[in-house]
């Protein structure tokens, strides 16, 4: 069966961009993106543009416009973010059945793991993001919960037959046990949900000319602030404590942080692990996925996942990171 993205040819990409009044130089470069399709398109006598074509049936138009509005709100508050370009007040466009948006090209490099100076500056950037994010809720974008990131993801994996039969009992057992622990953890921890980036790994915080900027708000949603912070930490416990201190020093110059949320870090890590496997399963009919993730579905992959989830279950018994 064909996939909707099969008809997204270079000519269609050029036609879509030119439908908004731009004159392309016919150069199209596919960028590394799986959830959507993203291209750099050359423009005559101007800087290239980035054209993002949204995966059909993933987000509603209202949800995409809400993402765009959040980006523009951040930009208006001088938070460095790559926001979509508008034409006659509109940022979401349609061409040949595809919804798309255009962005200015902004390159950069990811932060250096463990660099304390960079963590201080990243903390300030994320504090500014959350100060804006806390000002009002999303209306059309979902909240990060154990139900949708955890239980729904496990159901996808079990119902789709993606786990080898030899490993299915072990995976299901550890995943269900872990999710029961997460239900209790999130139910007993007091935290406020705000508008967050949602997928704030270091590759979405890029540095150029010694300044950081935020990219790719495609996964923005309601959630605890710590979801945008924990992926900045790496190494053993002592290293992470030092990194957390620098991150928080920068963050709290712009926004207050409730330290009770630190208890959620290992739970959020567990949800990300299960959700990632389910994401691959949900996208397996996309022809871009099997050649890009050939190890998915192998016994080695699922054996590693079982071990990782067991380690994550043990991590929930450890004392949470604390601010000093």
Catalytically active residues, by annotation? 199, 216
Annotated binding residue 204: yes
115 is in an annotated binding site: no
Indicate the angle between helix axes 152-160 and 265-282, nearest 10 degrees.
40
The closest of 131, 106, 59 to 205, measured between CA atoms, is: 106
3-class DSSP state of 323 = coil
Report, in angstroms and rounded to the nearest whole number, the Rg of the chain calculated over CA atoms: 21
Residue keyed to tokens 């509109």: 90
Query: Which of 322, 121, 73 is closest to 220 using CA atoms?
Result: 73
Tokens of 263: 């208890």
Q: Helix 116-133 and helix 237-251: axis angle, to 10°? A: 50
d(CA 147, CA 123): 29
Measured between alpha carbons, how far is 268 from 200 in angstroms, rounded to an integer?
Answer: 12
Specify the DSSP class assigned to residue 8.
Answer: -
DSSP letter string over 87-136? BTTB--EEETTEEEEEEE----BPPPTT-HHHHHHHHHHHHHHHHHHTTS
For the annotated binding site for Mg(2+), the residues are 204, 216
Binding positions are 204, 216
């Amino acid at each position: 069966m064909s996939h909707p993205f099969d008809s997204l040819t270079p000519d269609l990409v050029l036609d879509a961009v030119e439908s908004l009044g731009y004159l392309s130089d016919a150069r199209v470069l596919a960028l590394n993106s799986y959830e959507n399709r993203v291209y750099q398109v050359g423009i005559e006598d101007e800087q290239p543009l980035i054209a993002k074509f949204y995966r059909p049936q993933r987000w509603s138009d209202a949800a995409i416009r809400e993402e765009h509005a959040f980006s523009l709100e951040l930009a208006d508050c001088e938070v460095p973010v790559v926001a979509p370009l508008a034409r006659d007040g509109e940022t979401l466009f349609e061409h040949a059945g595809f919804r798309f948006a255009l962005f200015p090209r902004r390159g950069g490099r990811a932060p250096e793991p463990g660099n304390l100076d960079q963590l201080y500056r990243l903390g300030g950037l994320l504090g500014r993001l959350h100060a804006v994010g806390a000002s009002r809720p999303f209306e059309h974008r979902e909240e990060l919960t154990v139900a949708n990131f955890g239980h729904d993801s496990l159901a996808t994996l079990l119902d789709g037959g993606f786990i080898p039969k030899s490993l299915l009992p072990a995976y299901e057992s550890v995943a269900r046990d872990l999710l029961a622990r997460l239900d209790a953890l999130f139910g007993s921890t007091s935290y406020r949900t705000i508008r967050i980036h949602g997928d704030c790994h270091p590759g979405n915080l890029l540095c150029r000319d010694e300044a950081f900027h935020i990219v790719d708000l495609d996964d923005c949603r309601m959630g605890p602030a710590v979801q945008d912070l924990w992926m900045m930490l790496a190494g053993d416990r002592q290293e992470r404590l030092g990194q957390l201190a620098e991150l928080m020093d920068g963050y709290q110059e712009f926004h207050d942080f409730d330290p009770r949320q630190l208890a959620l870090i290992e739970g959020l890590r567990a949800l990300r692990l299960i959700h990632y496997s389910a994401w691959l399963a949900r996208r397996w009919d996309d022809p871009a996925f099997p050649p890009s993730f050939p190890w998915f579905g192998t016994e080695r992959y699922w054996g590693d996942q079982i071990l990782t989830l067991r380690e994550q279950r043990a991590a929930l018994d450890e004392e949470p990171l604390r601010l000093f």
